Structure 1
């Protein structure tokens, strides 16, 4: 199959409208079958007028493991920066090894045993609080009242943000994600950072005066010892606010939409929860939804990638959502199956930049389904879901539902 014969049937993968009705999995299946890589022209947001679409699981693994050729310095997503920006040089997502490795080692300390020991308690308290709220109301928007609230409160608690400031996390995160998808995404984000950083700097000083078992304290102490700089502290906490919210927010939203839309998925999910196969269920939702659909790298020199000639400055768009449906890795990839014996999905990326907080995100979804089952909570659709337009995030903006409960309180295992 040649690029010339299939290209006219491929929609514009740089246009959010292509994703308006859902992820174009048939398109990705077609692109994956092409020899080499497919070039998607783009009107803005790249150095060389477009990007290479990487849809095969093995190709993404190879690219992620070669940061010398496929760099993050121009930004990890499309639209990319016109040049590496001094402000973003402090951000772990915009760095390659060895700087990335140094920052990641310091960041990993925030997931130390004293903090991790609190995760289950913190997450469960927040999930129970949210479930009790929606049960009282009976009619809610699952996206705004559950999917946004649980991860924002969890990440605020894990970082150490006071209760009174939790709503700021939601507002800032959604605004930053919207800005990132604009043609001048880097500049739009830069305009938002002063307010976020001013808040986080105050938090740093508060944590040094009154240390707690939370991320902000650990990172503030790292900065105080000189292991990371003050700008690196600010950028890493900003990243935690964003990444710690968005992946979980989207998978909580889209997993419930799948349950409500598809009786077979609903049945598979019920059986997985009843059989205490929550780990398999969570991983399958992450694979099937793929909240962050892609990440990008910029080519640092002319290179031949398995027959595709790439130029210095070309953008490489790694479509995790396509890799997660790659039949070379996943048997019957478009079938939802929590019983997969192997689920090497890329919902959290791959290689040096894989998400350091993935276990916390999985824990939130696991506890949510566990507590819903234990309390006999049933969810039914109560209106039309509303999807967002995005080439980056598998967005769901609204999911109106009714909430009923049997009132049972099964003992926790």
Structure 2
């Protein structure tokens, strides 16, 4: 693992609580002064951070940056690493071709635009049920009461997870997402991971006995039919769908609504013209996207990028939220403008790992925000914006809570 002494070039403090609150000034500094920046991560390892749009696209599409670092190991080490790897990395997000294509192919059918559009009625039903519960109160915590339950109910129904177990997933997935930033909680992380795996094993065992018309049953069928899916991969794919299936959408809805509340003129515009929702969604994704950094990549060979040498084995992550505010790509990138229209943002990634659930996230956010503004036209913040706290962790960009009144 190489690290040059290039880390002192730019004095930027990343991953502090101040950075969490607002990373954008630091991103801007890095794009200007040191766009391929090497830094010490919270876990004690060095990593290259890519902050400009053009470089971000290049890295996300470059097959020399691999997702499964075990390919860098010798044969024996590789076997050992695979034997000890967590099920949470046995899925398409953390694999390279040809495994990637095989694993993604198994779930892709459920996420075609046509399949997703078929869920619209159910998403509208759930949205209205959630708002019915709080309508009389005149206030809510947008995350707990609305933005979290909506996507978790949808993905649990698609997979066939009993509704009474939904809250457990919140605990488990929060732990997994925040683990990246908080190595101190190793014991708690281990406990939650073990609970999650035990839960998945029981759920799959139950579905083997009593298959239903849901995605878990279909995945088990694929696994039983031979070489398409191992048992470990089965758990890996299900856990990815549960975690990715709600984490990103919670943040997409919340960050989007927060941006509207901070820009009342834009909120009024969208409320008066609901047809702007598609354009508004793209701006939510660009302006303060739900995924701040891409997942891990490693250089499989030495790569030269903008005069920097990224050595074989080096760890690389792309600052998606930084690329989405690159002034070379977007006019007035720090301005929130829902009429921007079609946008080449990288909120869902790029290349072969482009987010499989993008059509579902868009549908859920579209229905959620349109219905919210229609039913609660006087929606406003119920706290000082300065008092809001952003979640710790490197991967996701999301608030801990968002109190609103209507």
* TM-score interval for Structure 1 and Structure 2 normalised by the shorter chain: 0.7 to 0.9
Give the aligned partner of residue 56 of structure 2: 60
Which residue of 54, 58, 68 maps to 1:73? 68
What RMSD, in angstroms, separates the aligned Cα atoms of the two structures? Answer: 2.7
Contact 1:301 1:312 in 2 (8 A): yes
In the alignment, the residues of structure 1 paired with residue 144 and residue 235 of structure 2 have an alpha-carbon distance, to the nearest angstrom, of 27
Please give the alpha-carbon distance, in whole angstroms, between the structure 2 residues aligned to 1:179 and 1:90.
Answer: 17
Matched, 1:129 2:124: no
> Could you say which residue in structure 2 is the equivalent of 1:39?
38
Residues matched between the structures, number: 384
CA displacement, residues 78-105 of structure 1 (integer Å, 9 cap, x when unaligned): xxxxx77533562322211111111111
Q: Counterpart of 1:392?
A: 395
- Alpha-carbon distance between aligned partners in 1 of 2:306 and 2:7, rounded to the nearest angstrom: 19
Partners of 1:225 and 1:283 lie apart in 2 by: 40
Q: CA deviation at 1:175?
A: 2.3
CA displacement at 1:117 relative to structure 2: 5.6
Other-structure match for 2:316: 316
Give the 3 Å change call, closer, same or farther, for CA 168–122 of structure 1 in structure 2: farther
Q: Which residue of 2 aligns with 1:339?
A: 339
**1:325, CA displacement in angstroms?**
0.8
The answer to whether the 8 A contact 1:268-1:337 is kept is no
Aligned match of 2:281: 282
8 Å CA contact retained: 2:255, 2:289: no
Three-state SS of the structure 2 residue aligned to 1:201 is helix
8 Å Cα contact 1:173/1:245 also seen in 2: no
Instruction: Specify the SS of the correspondent of 2:378.
Output: strand
Which whole-Å deviations, capped at 9, do the CAs of 1:274-293 have from their partners, x for residues lacking one?
24122111111111121110
Alpha-carbon separation, structure 2, partners of 1:373 and 1:44: 41
SS at match of 2:317: strand
- Any conservation in 2 of the 1:115–1:213 contact (CA below 8 Å)? no
Other-structure match for 1:406: none
- Residue 327 of structure 1 and its aligned partner are, at CA, apart by 2.1
Deviates more, 1:369-378 or 1:307-316: 369-378
Match of 1:78 in 2: none
Higher helix share: 2
Question: What CA distance in whole angstroms lies between the structure 2 residues aligned with 1:157 and 1:311?
Answer: 44
Structure-2 change in CA distance of 1:314 and 1:183 (3 Å): farther
Over 3 Å counting, the alpha-carbon distance change for 1:251 and 1:309 in structure 2 is same
The 3 A distance-change label for structure 1 pair 4 and 95 is: closer
Give the C-alpha shift of residue 184 in structure 1: 7.3
Name the CA distance, whole Å, in 1 between partners of 2:167 and 2:312.
42
Shift of 1:321: 0.2
* Distance (whole Å) between structure 2 residues aligned to residue 96 and residue 277 of structure 1: 38
Farther off after superposition, 169-178 or 261-270: 261-270
SS in 2 for 1:277: helix
- Write the distance in 2 (CA, Å) between the matches of 1:214 and 1:112: 16
Cα-to-partner distance string for 1:105-140 (whole Å, 9 max, x where unaligned): 112133368954641122111111111112122222
Q: Whole-Å Cα distance in 1 between the matches of residues 190 and 95 of structure 2?
A: 17
Q: Secondary structure at the match of 1:33?
A: helix
Q: How does 1:3-402 map to 2 (within 5 A)?
A: 7-8=10-11, 10=12, 12-13=13-14, 15-22=15-22, 24-34=23-33, 37-42=36-41, 44-46=43-45, 50-67=46-63, 69-74=64-69, 86-88=85-87, 90-111=90-111, 116=116, 118-183=118-183, 191-226=191-226, 227-271=228-272, 274-295=273-294, 296-384=296-384, 385-402=388-405
Change (3 A) 1:102 1:211: same
Q: Using the TM superposition, give the Cα deviation of residue 237 of structure 1 relative to its aligned residue in structure 2, in angstroms.
A: 0.6
Deviation per CA, 1:198-230: give whole Å up to 9, x if none: 322333344445444432122122112122111
Distance 1:377 1:36, change over 3 A: closer
Using the alignment, how far apart are the partners of 1:134 and 1:301 within structure 2?
54
Q: Secondary structure at the match of 1:137?
A: coil
For the Cα contact (< 8 Å) 1:252–1:365, is it kept in 2? yes
The two structures have a TM-score, normalised by structure 2, of 0.85
CA contact (8 A) 2:56 2:318 kept: yes
